[in-house]
Amino acid sequence: MKLEARHLAFAYRQRLVLDGISLSLKPGQVVSLLGSNGAGKSTLLRLLLGLLQPARGELLLDGKPLEQWPRRQLARQLAYVPQIHSTPFPYTVTEVVLLGRLPAGSLFRSPSREDREIAATALEQVGIPHLAERPYTEISGGERQLALIARALAQGARLLIMDEPATGLDYGHQLRLLERLGQLAAAGYGVLMSTHHPEHALLASTRVLLLENGRIRAAGPPEQVLNPANLQALYDIPPGLLQRAMSCWQPAGPSSLSPPTKESFHVPEPHPRLPA
Amino acid sequence: MSRRLSLLPLLLLTLLGTMLASLSLGRYPLPPGEVLDFLLHQLGLGELEAQRQALLHNLIVDIRLPRVLTAVLVGAALSISGAAYQAVFRNPLVSPGLLGVLPGAAAGAALGLVFSDSWWIMQVAAFATGFLAVAIGVGIAGLFGGSLVMLVLGGIISGALFTALLSLVKYVADPYNQLPAIVYWLMGSLATADLPDLARVAIPMGLGILLLASLGRALDALSMGDDEAATLGLPIRSVRYGVIALATLISALTVSLAGVIGWVGLLVPHIARLITGPGNRLLLPASALLGAIFLLLADGLARNLAETEIPIGIVTELLGIPAFLLVLHRARKGWV
């Protein structure tokens, strides 16, 4: 199972917002997508999910063009984890996760005992089985994000597309979420996430894509791609400012905090290199 | 979970009990036992005196049964379409009238009353214009991209158009005969339908209600947002417009059966949500059953409260306001 984009382009009202995008996502990988606001990250995610049609280029899942996949079958391979949201109605966490079983059968079907077991397992996988009967609207943002990930797992999909999964979470929840993504990758899931935090990409991903004005500026292993020159250009940061932001993490003494290291996360090593 | 699933049979029993009570209450109250005896006799069980049988037949089958069945159908249809609309539009404050079906059907019915004496033509006119109003609303939304907000605005525009047309029809109507008929009819009445009328609309209405009731999970998914629903494998356009079409069909039929009965479609889904929780798989059938019970109770009040009958639309609105305040009080934490 592999999702592959080749030279994708997308235009919105005659304006080219994405051009020449090539990337791939396989189980075991965590791919981070970085870019300034308006660089086209969300558009790219929607293209990859088949929610938009590319103007040019190819999008293949398992070698077959994405638009030839029936929606229900696609949902069993490729899942979308949206940004943390609330629902207008206070569904229980289990009800939200059970929606992931919708593509498994007929539209008119009630969830079966098997569906309920799968939903319960998914909640255990993300570590929130105790929230099963709580209203989705009353749990915290981090817990909601985990519930949405559980729904994606309940779909049975091996490839997960996540839209800024860490946004709106406190620091501790951000780190725990990133660790969870590493665990998922180790368990054979492929994750592609957009993020605003280079350090998240550095911590949790096997590969990084930098998106600048609808084009890929750089792609590769995080240590290689996330260098000061790229970040400075990507976010248009004055040179001194980036220096100061990065140096505030340098250990100032033996007792001070040091940034979490890569070794504290379950990221599969070594990074699988992809053909460019 | 099993406690929740046993709710539906419980509601069904309550509905049957309420129907029995409605059949026995009225200007000539009957003991419920006698109504049961009569029903058993109709099924070929038990003995009944011939004269008594004729009287009961007249009272129960000719007078009360059409009314009770109308109340059940109309209450169930309005409530389930209200619940379905709330899920489709992701907004708990939406009622089946949102896309203009009620003003549309009202204008058509008024037109039918002015230009024809036939109740049947009025029914058809009400149904057709109700559907037309929604089609115009959806069409306007389609011109501007078809988003949810555009659908709501399209419905408002179409509703305003048909409200204006209704005023126009009222203005040109004969003020001595036709105008009062229009005004009374707009207040809603469960008394006009007879059994053949009911038989005509019961099948499409019943089918519409059953189909909507089976789409609960799809509506749950749709209420999460279009992108999510699509990535869950849902054919979002078919589900959205299919549900709108079904809800429009059955609401337009309620107007042609019983005039404009307000509040039920907004209020009953909220009461049902207090009982079942927000999951549409249970909420939709529970709304239908509760809506039928609610309208039977309202009709009981309408018939028995005063010497002369009060129009049902007025009763539902008066009854609806305190009930809705109660729901709001319970639901302050969220749309439980």
Total count of residues recorded for chain A: 276
Q: What is the pLDDT of residues B257-268, one digit of tens each?
A: 888 888 899 899
Q: Is B17 a residue whose pLDDT tops 90?
A: yes
The tokens 């280029």 sit on which residue? Answer: A57
Nearest chain B residue to A153 by CA distance is B232
β-strand pairing of A190-195 with A15-25:
unpaired
Give me the residue from B90, B225, B334 closest to A90, CB to CB.
B334
The average pLDDT across B120-132 equals 88
Q: Contacts of residue B217 in chain A, CB cutoff 8 Å?
A: 99, 102, 107, 109-111
CA B209 to chain CA centroid, nearest Å: 10
Q: What is the pLDDT of residues B278-322, one digit of tens each?
A: 899 999 999 999 999 999 999 998 888 877 888 888 888 888 888
Cβ of B217 within 8 Å of Cβ of A111? The answer is yes
Position B104 confidence tier, pLDDT thresholds 50, 70, 90: very high
Residues of B at the A interface (Cβ-Cβ below 8 Å)? 87, 90-92, 214-215, 217-218, 220-221, 223-225, 227-228, 230-235, 239, 273, 277-279, 281, 334-336
Cβ of A91 within 8 Å of Cβ of B220? The answer is yes
Among residues A98, A84, A151, the alpha carbon closest in space to that of B282 is found at: A98
The tokens 């660790």 sit on which residue? Answer: A179
Q: What's the confidence (pLDDT) of residue A273?
A: 44
Cβ of B232 within 8 Å of Cβ of A89? The answer is no
Nearest chain B residue to A155 by CA distance is B232
Mean pLDDT for chain B? 88
Interface test mutation site (partner A, options B224, B234, B236, B335, max chain A beta carbons within 10 A) = B224
How far apart (Å, rounded) are the C-alpha atoms in residues A87 and B328? Answer: 18
Q: What is the pLDDT of residues B309-318, one digit of tens each?
A: 888 888 888 8
Interface test mutation site (partner B, options A84, A89, A133, max chain B beta carbons within 10 A) = A89
Q: How many other CB atoms sit within 10 Å of the CB of residue B308?
A: 6
Nearest chain A residue to B215 by CA distance is A108
Cβ of A103 within 8 Å of Cβ of B232? The answer is yes
* Tokens found for residue A10: 């997308």
| Interchain CB contact of A103 with B (< 8 Å) | yes
Gap between the terminal Cα atoms of chain A? 18
ipTM: 0.84
Q: Between these two residues, B54 and B286, which has the higher pLDDT value?
A: B286
Interface test mutation site (partner A, options B210, B217, B283, B284, max chain A beta carbons within 10 A) = B217
Cβ of A91 within 8 Å of Cβ of B92? The answer is no
Among residues A161, A210, A168, A163, the alpha carbon closest in space to that of A184 is found at: A161
Give me the residue from A73, A102, A108 closest to B221, CB to CB.
A102
The average pLDDT across B200-228 equals 93
Q: What's the confidence (pLDDT) of residue B280?
A: 93
Q: What's the confidence (pLDDT) of residue B334?
A: 55
| Interchain CB contact of A135 with B (< 8 Å) | yes
How far apart (Å, rounded) are the C-alpha atoms in residues B166 and B159? Answer: 10
How far apart (Å, rounded) are the C-alpha atoms in residues A13 and A1? Answer: 33
Nearest chain A residue to B225 by CA distance is A87
What domains can you pick out in chain B, each with its CATH number?
2-98+194-330 (1.10.3470.10)
Alpha carbons within 13 angstroms on the beta-carbon side of residue B270 total 24
CB A47 within 8 A of CB A66: no
Position B148 confidence tier, pLDDT thresholds 50, 70, 90: confident
Q: Starting from the edge strand earliest in sequence, which strands make up the sheet with A64-65, in order?
A: A15-25, A3-12, A56-61, A64-65
Lowest mean pLDDT among A57-71, A186-200, B135-149, B214-228: B135-149
Q: What is the pLDDT along chain A (276 residues), one digit of tens a residue?
A: 899 999 999 998 888 999 999 999 999 999 999 999 888 999 999 999 999 999 999 999 999 999 999 999 999 999 999 998 888 888 999 999 999 999 998 888 888 999 999 999 999 999 999 999 999 999 998 899 999 999 999 999 999 999 999 888 889 889 999 999 999 999 999 999 999 999 999 999 999 999 999 999 999 999 999 988 999 999 998 888 888 888 876 655 444 444 445 554 554 444 444 443
| Interchain CB contact of A79 with B (< 8 Å) | yes
* Tokens found for residue B51: 């004269």
Q: What is the pLDDT of residues B75-93, one digit of tens each?
A: 999 999 999 999 998 888 7
Interface test mutation site (partner A, options B5, B88, B89, B232, max chain A beta carbons within 10 A) = B232
3-state secondary structure B155-184: HHHHHHHHHHHHHHHHHHCCCCCHHHHHHH
The average pLDDT across B82-111 equals 88
Q: Rounded to 5 degrees, what are φ and ψ at B184?
A: -65, -40
Nearest chain B residue to A111 by CA distance is B217
Give me the residue from B87, B90, B232 closest to A99, CB to CB.
B232
Q: Rounded to 5 degrees, what are φ and ψ at A185?
A: -60, -40
Give me the residue from B220, B231, B234 closest to A95, CB to CB.
B220
* Tokens found for residue B260: 């404009």
Cβ of A71 within 8 Å of Cβ of B235? The answer is yes
Q: Contacts of residue A135 in chain B, CB cutoff 8 Å?
A: 334, 336
CB A226 within 8 A of CB A201: yes
